[in-house]
Structure 1
Amino acid sequence: MSHPIITGFAGSLSAPSRTRAVVEDAVQLTAERYGGTGSVFDLLDLGPSLGRARRFGDLAQEAQDLLQSLVEADAIVLATPVHKGSYGGLFKHVFDLLDPTALYGKPILLAASGGGDRHALVIEHQLRPLFGFFEAQTLATGVYVSDRDFTDGRLADPAARARLERAVDQFGPYLPGFLASHSVSGAPVLAAI
């Protein structure tokens, strides 16, 4: 039996990034729980061709390969920083370049990060409708985190971590051939990008 492939995308231009830290944690936890392999990329990894692209084919080959990894993944983790109540324009532009059927049926864990709690509904009011358009299967539990949930750049708040674990559990019905007993705890499961 093959192992599930989990791909994470952080819609952040910052490095280091709290948004990317959440995606890395979610991908790592999912890969360990279902015996899979994971990789994570962010907006910076897509390079300068993203801003100039009017269609998928306009992207540099490396950017095309990264976006293709989303399309081919068994499970996806997506997160965005929140700016002025919504996701950023480049984050949305990534998905404008994908075919409307590219994410059909894909299980997606949605997450967002912001400076405070007033942006917490961005998952329900912005992200879930976007991926509803693609007919993706967004997990019921979204994960919103704020600055206070982090210590030294890592997600540390127990309630936020519990919510993340609950969301990862919801990948179970979409990865039925991959049992939690496949855990590879202690082994690196994130591919370097």
Structure 2
Amino acid sequence: MKLVVVSAGLSQPSSTRLLADRLTAATVRRAAADVEVIELRDLATEIAQHLVTGFPPARLAAALDAVAGADGLIAVTPVFSASYSGLFKSFFDLIDKDALTGKPVLAGATGGTARHSLVTEHALRPLFTYLRTLVVPTAVYAASQDWGEDGLAARITRAGQELARFMAPVEGAERPRTPDTDTTAAIAPRSLTGAITSVDPTAGFEVVPFEQRLAALRTG
């Protein structure tokens, strides 16, 4: 499996990259994966060029391909003006609208104050929902005062476990037939459609088809 990590931190060292690294470590402890880290600060010029020309330079094209081909994605941004950074949004604006469909995503953010802690819910989660990703239930926000606290460590661990669970193959699931193959194989849960009703690091997660939930509401 391949895990791609997108960090939009601008400084060095960066608290955004630190959070991304800790989320990565929590994920790979539960699911073996090759990790590729994309630092958006190194691609800022290429992102601007692509926005105005419509053609991605080679390094940016490789980064976009890596995100599209990942089995799981960790995306972390600093908070600017109570939302994700412009660099972060510009990068995801360049990704094909269908490239992330069903992909498991763990969203994270860093900021100077706890007052921005809901940025993961009012900005990041809607963005990735629009891109039709499978956003894990636990998003992680880290304010300056959170570092070293047990609460942050627990949230990071829980979020990493959820992403690892979503990236893991689903026993008995079948891969759609393609012209290149007549065989079926286990596929990642991002191919499933439905409502995630529970996540348990020890028991897994439950996906209930929308039709089944609708029928239950009608008969309830």
TM-score by length of 2: 0.72
- Indicate if the aligned counterparts of 1:28 and 1:38 stay in contact, CA closer than 8 A: no
For 2:153 and 2:67, the matched residues in 1 are separated by 24
Q: Distance in 2 between matches of 1:104 and 1:34?
A: 21
**In the TM superposition, what is the alpha-carbon distance from 1:55 to its structure 2 partner?**
7.1
Q: Does 1:158 align with 2:150?
A: yes
- What corresponds to 2:159 in structure 1? 167
Deviation at 1:96, TM superposition (A): 1.0
SS across alignment from 1:177: coil
**What is the SS of the residue equivalent to 1:170?**
helix
Q: Larger deviation: 125-134 or 33-42?
A: 33-42
- Note if contact 2:26-2:161 (Cα within 8 Å) is conserved in structure 1: no
Q: Which runs of 5+ in 2 are unaligned?
A: 171-200, 202-220
Query: 2:26 & 2:49 partners in 1: Cα distance?
Result: 35
The answer to whether the Cα contact below 8 Å between 1:7 and 1:27 also exists between their aligned partners in 2 is no
> Secondary structure of the residue that 1:48 maps to in structure 2?
helix
Judge which range, 60-69 or 43-52, deviates more: 43-52
RMSD: 1.9
- Local SS of the residue matching 1:171: helix
Q: Secondary structure at the match of 2:66?
A: helix
Q: How does 1:70-89 map to 2 (within 5 A)?
A: 70-89=67-86
Secondary structure in 1 matching 2:9: coil
Bigger relative CO (Cα 8 Å, ≥ 6 apart): 1
Q: Which runs of 5+ in 1 are unaligned?
A: 151-155, 181-193
Q: In the TM superposition, what whole-angstrom CA distance separates every residue of 1:83-140 from its partner, at most 9, and x where no partner exists?
A: 1101111211111111111110000001000001110111100011111111000000
Mean CA deviation greater in 61-70 or 115-124: 61-70
Indicate if the aligned counterparts of 1:49 and 1:58 stay in contact, CA closer than 8 A: no
Residue 111 of structure 1 is matched in structure 2 by: 108
Match of 1:161, as an amino acid?
A: A
1:56 deviates by 8.9
TM-score normalised to structure 1 length: 0.82
Q: Which residue of 2 aligns with 1:44?
A: 41
Displacement of 1:47:
4.3
2:144 to 138, 143, 147: 147
Aligned to 1:121: 118
- The alignment of Structure 1 onto Structure 2 pairs a total of residues equal to 171
Deviation at 1:24, TM superposition (A): 1.2
Q: What amino acid is aligned across from residue 6 of structure 1 in structure 2?
A: L
Q: Quote how far apart the aligned CAs of 1:52 are.
A: 2.3
**8 A Cα contact 2:30 2:164, kept in partner:** no
> Over alpha carbons, which structure has the higher Rg?
2
Residue 16 (1) aligns with residue 8 (2): no
Where 1:63 maps in the other structure, the secondary structure is helix
- Determine helix, strand or coil for the equivalent of 1:126: helix
> In 2, are the aligned partners of 1:143 and 1:163 still within 8 Å (CA)?
yes
